[in-house]
Amino acid sequence: MKFKNLSVSRQEELTGYLFMLPFFIGFMIFQGFPFLITVFTSFTNMRFITKDLSKIKFVGFDNYISVLKDPDFINAFGRSLYFSVLYVVLIMMISMALAYFLNDKIFGCKLNRTLYFLPYISNIVAISVVWQLLLDNKEGPVNMVLKAIGIVNPPDWLVGNTQIVIPTIVIISVWYGLGLNLVTYLAALQEVPKSLYESADIDGANELQKFMNITVPWISPTTFFLLITSVIASMQNFAVIMSLTNGGPGNESTVLSIYTYQQAFNFNRMQMGATQSVYMLIVLALIAIIQWRGQKKWVHY
Amino acid sequence: MKKARKILCLVVACLMALSLLAACGKTTVSEEKQASTQKADDKSSTQKEADTAKPSGPVKLKFTFPKPVDNPAMKEYIKYAKEKLNYDIEFVDINPVAQEYDKKLSISMMAGDAPADVFYYYAAILDKYIAADTVLPLNDIAQKANVNLQTKYGTGLTVKDNKVYGLPQTRDIWVTLYNKKIFDDAGVPYPTAEGWTWSKYIETAKKLTNPSKGIYGSFMNLDWDSFQYMTAHQKGIPDYKADGTSNFDDPAFIEALKFAHDLAGKEKIQPSILTLKSKQLPWDSFGTGKYAMTVNGGWSTCFVMDKKTYPRDWKYGVLPMPYPDGSKPASSMVIGGLAVAKGTKNAEAAFKLAELFASDSFKFDTERMPTRLDMSKDEINSYITTNFIKGHEDDGVTVEDYIKCWFNPEITLTPEKVNGPGASVINSTFISEGELYGIGKKSAEDAMKNVKQKADTAIAEEKKANK
């Protein structure tokens, strides 16, 4: 069988598969096989290392039950959800609002767009160090400003206040991730036909009505896409939390990703770490399914 | 479409075949090793293991340690070992940071291969490698090499089921370092080793603390696990009860937790845990010259020995670790050692390298104490003079000062950290609960209650897993 003897459509199909191949190989090596191993490990008693495979026993759903009985897992899971809700709501609202304003020809528009995107391409650890210095509870610039405007006891942002630590990390994460959402929204906003706004003007619609009835529905596919990616991004908070608080104070910012890492690599409970990862995957998949099903009611293609 | 599917199937099949080949390749190596290990297991003694593992060519060994490859002491040691043993020694740089080294070593072990023939271990972690059957017992090889491990290293050895698995390479006994300039400026006389209790330490530090100049009398890393239970260990309170459960409901542990954080909160002689974290004060802050005293492991002498990293215009003094009032003098101590990976092809040579390092490396490393018990007074004096006095005569520190800290039989040596079942969970819980107590979000009683509960769960779980 020669490639040239195939019909054009089959040649295209074949070419398509060949283009997929590098991704497929990379995916299987770095994600597919590790994922399968993780699922396998979650059904075993493998705590650490063993060359003697006979020591690894299949334990059914024991790990899944144990994890649910672990109060630290439940707490970490709760914190993750709290983090996600705050993050997704904030990043979606702020990025949409900013994109809406930056879409107009305002002074320094391009510079603003660049500035908002800069954190996204910066190193998260370096950003964390800068934020730690900014938020130093005694001599940090943020609290100095707050004191100057009359706030006697400004918050201990990252280290001393167990109530405020997650919202603080969320704000930093939103600031970091805003650029991508903003640029995506800007691209979507530029696709909205101006004729629609002109018609609305003729009909006497105000700015809010135009935004709610034209802009929001028109960019709804983008909103849907960003909603899914933001939910996933909100769960991928390991680096920022590890560099800012290491899960502290106490365990107050120990979210699921941090706790899973601790279980696997600090406490040598590899099977528990794997089980928690599977739970995280299930939750993310469920959220994505709910969003996918729900999109029919509000996404307009 | 059918043809396209066939092509796709073909591609996937090729991929699977390729990965299978790769896996087979790996298996061949693994099988060889497994076969070698199996052979060794079949023989009753480790001596026979060593015999089967004799190399045919020049001896090549890999060695790993939590230090960077360009560390001068490490370079000197490798050179020394090459000359003494005539081996081809390759240094494997895993990570110089202790915690990262431990994690990366664990991951390598998890992957099924030790990264080196001889590897350094921290006292609390060798147990898991032994349980995983990845460490070579050394009794028979030592006997063949005419090394009496008991006489030479005694309690420093890591022993399990009467088998020696690790040789002590570092014996780190805690000390107090002080900045003489701050004492002079405040007109406070230098403290002495005799009767150096915690109350004297606090009393002295109070006289030296001067917030207007940014001077604190004390610096300790209150966010470290060992500080949360330091005085309980010094008083000789065990971590585990006779029934195997944790002993953290002993009032001494609540007192220890309160004591550590009171140094900042009540006594105000040092930065609180909140300040340490908020200002990101580094662990080696004593080297900045703004702290009059620090209590830390013997390795902390690098703050005053290494003038390149810590340039100073002040002189230092050294004392033993302070001890609790009403108790006998006691200092924290931690052992780090060297183990031989079971998969080594040069068991005898690997043992010789580990033993040479355990025996002689103190000659090249100023931060560590000798672990040998058979050293003469002259050897001890020479060690202190060479490593701590020469080049630092201006400081006015004497050999006797160091002997009082590190070679004083009147000082009881107590474990720096919790070592035993569930240790990693216990130490981690002490850090998180200690932090919550330190920032005032939890009472000491509630914090210790949580430590006790989590410790007991971790111990029970580990016992169940090891059955």
Q: How much is the ipTM here? A: 0.83
Q: Which of A10, A48, A138 sits opposite B3 (nearest CB)?
A: A10
Query: Are residues B187 and B282 located together in one domain of the fold?
Result: yes
pLDDT at residue B57 in the model: 60
Distance from CA of A49 to the nearest CA of B (A): 5
A183-187, A216-220, B70-74, B77-81: the lowest-pLDDT one: B70-74
Query: Are residues B287 and B342 located together in one domain of the fold?
Result: no
pLDDT at residue A162 in the model: 82
Query: Are residues B255 and B306 located together in one domain of the fold?
Result: yes
Q: B424: which chain A residues are within 8 Å (Cβ-Cβ)? A: 266-268
Residue B122 lies in a domain: yes
Report the CATH number at residue B183.
3.40.190.10
Q: B222: which chain A residues are within 8 Å (Cβ-Cβ)? A: none
Angle between helix axes B2-42 and A8-27 (nearest 10 degrees) is 20
- Direct distance between the N- and C-terminal alpha carbons of chain A, in angstroms, rounded to an integer: 42
CA distance B187 to B197: 21
Q: Are A17 and B11 in contact (CB under 8 A)?
A: yes
Q: Which residues have a Cβ under 8 Å from the Cβ of B298 and sit 6 or more positions away? A: B172, B173, B174, B175, B367, B368, B369, B405, B406
Per-residue pLDDT of B163-203, as tens digits, reads 999 999 888 899 999 999 999 999 999 999 999 999 999 99
Q: Which domains does chain A have, with CATH numbers?
A: 1-42 (no CATH), 61-298 (1.10.3720.10)
Higher pLDDT, residue B137 or A153: B137
pLDDT at residue B191 in the model: 97
Q: B3: which chain A residues are within 8 Å (Cβ-Cβ)? A: 1, 6, 10
| Cβ within 8 Å, pair B15-A1 | no
Residue B321 lies in a domain: yes
| Cβ within 8 Å, pair A265-B106 | yes
Disruptive mutation site among B126, B278, B427 for chain A (greatest number of A CBs within 10 Å): B278
Q: Is the pLDDT of residue B26 over 70?
A: no
| Cβ within 8 Å, pair B436-A162 | yes
Q: Is the pLDDT of residue B15 over 70?
A: no
pLDDT at residue B2 in the model: 53
Q: A1: which chain B residues are within 8 Å (Cβ-Cβ)? A: 3
Cα four-point dihedral sign A248, A250, A255, A259 = positive
B92-97 contacts: CB < 8 A, separation 24 or more? B92/B62, B92/B63, B92/B64, B92/B116, B93/B64, B93/B68, B93/B69, B94/B64, B94/B66, B95/B66, B96/B66, B96/B67, B96/B68, B96/B71, B97/B66
Query: Are residues B301 and B216 located together in one domain of the fold?
Result: yes
Q: Which of A286-290, B81-85, B107-111, B226-230 has the highest mean pLDDT?
A: B226-230
User: How would DSSP label each residue in B355-417?
Assistant: HHHHHHGGGT-TT-B---S---HHHHHHHHIIIIITT-GGG---HHHHHHHHS-TTSEEEESS
Disruptive mutation site among A69, A159, A269 for chain B (greatest number of B CBs within 10 Å): A159
- Closest residue of B to A157, CA-based? B278
Residue B399 lies in a domain: no
Q: Are A133 and A140 in contact (CB under 8 A)?
A: yes
Query: Are residues B214 and B325 located together in one domain of the fold?
Result: yes
Query: Are residues B233 and B361 located together in one domain of the fold?
Result: no
Query: Are residues B218 and B88 located together in one domain of the fold?
Result: no
Disruptive mutation site among B1, B272, B275, B277 for chain A (greatest number of A CBs within 10 Å): B277
A101-105, A251-255, A285-289, B374-378: the lowest-pLDDT one: A101-105
Q: Are B341 and B118 in contact (CB under 8 A)?
A: yes
pTM: 0.83
Query: Are residues B83 and B53 located together in one domain of the fold?
Result: yes
What does the DSSP 8-state code read for residue A262?
Answer: I
Average pLDDT (B47-65) is 64
Q: Is A158 on the interface with B (CB under 8 A)?
A: yes
Residue B307 lies in a domain: yes
Per-residue pLDDT of B273-319, as tens digits, reads 988 988 888 889 999 999 999 999 988 988 898 888 899 999 999 99
Q: A250: which chain B residues are within 8 Å (Cβ-Cβ)? A: 432-433, 435-436, 441-442
Higher pLDDT, residue A259 or A162: A259
Query: Are residues B199 and B328 located together in one domain of the fold?
Result: yes
Query: Are residues B85 and B166 located together in one domain of the fold?
Result: yes
Other CB atoms within a 10 A radius of the CB of residue B60 amount to: 14
Q: Structure tokens of B368? A: 């560590």
Burial class (CB in 10 A: 0-12, 13-18, 19+), B145: middle
pLDDT at residue B6 in the model: 57
Q: Which of A49, A136, A247 sits opposite B132 (nearest CB)?
A: A49
Other CB atoms within a 10 A radius of the CB of residue B256 amount to: 26
- Closest residue of B to A11, CA-based? B4
Closest of A55, A265, A49 to residue B134, by C-alpha: A49
CB contacts < 8 A (A, B): 100
Query: Are residues B262 and B371 located together in one domain of the fold?
Result: no
Q: Which amino acid is at B381?
A: N
Residue B316 lies in a domain: yes
| φ, ψ for residue A152, nearest 5 deg | -70, -45
Residue B339 lies in a domain: yes
Domain extent at residue B461: 175-333+408-466
CA distance B329 to B194: 9
| Cβ within 8 Å, pair A51-B8 | no
- For chain B, the domain total comes to 2
Domain boundary among B361, B380, B399: B380
Q: Which residues have a Cβ under 8 Å from the Cβ of B11 and sit 6 or more positions away? A: A17, A21
What dihedral do alpha carbons A270, A272, A278, A280 form, nearest 10°? -110
Residue B397 lies in a domain: no
Query: Are residues B221 and B287 located together in one domain of the fold?
Result: yes
